[in-house]
Amino acid sequence: MTLVSATFLINPGDTAAFEAAAADMVRLTNQEPGCLRYAVHQNPNQPGQYLFFEEWESRPHLEAHFNTEHFLKFKALTPALSQEPAKVRVYEVQTFEDL
């Protein structure tokens, strides 16, 4: 299984545009083959901070996601809305049940 965490810090005044784009990403990505879970959360303690958490069946499924139209659109949009580059981490894991 492949897990991804991504953190975005959005400019004040740009949160509505980011949230609209993030809502599309969540809706479309959760329909992709191999996507087990794709969710975004807002940090209530830090205005403008959004956290994405993703679970994928495999790395090839994640790689296919990186080539979708909605991902490429989101990737092109977010730098202009962000205070800093997104922090992304990818993990290859075994589920506890598989140990």
What DSSP assignment string belongs to 52-86?
EEEEES-HHHHHHHTTSHHHHHHHHHHHHHBSS--
For the chain, list residues with pLDDT below 70: 98-99
pLDDT value at residue 96: 76
pTM of the model: 0.90
- Going from N- to C-terminal start, the domains of the chain cover 2-94
Question: By the 8 A CB rule, do 26 and 52 touch?
Answer: no
Question: By the 8 A CB rule, do 91 and 3 touch?
Answer: yes
Class of domain 2-94 (CATH, top level): alpha beta
pLDDT value at residue 99: 64
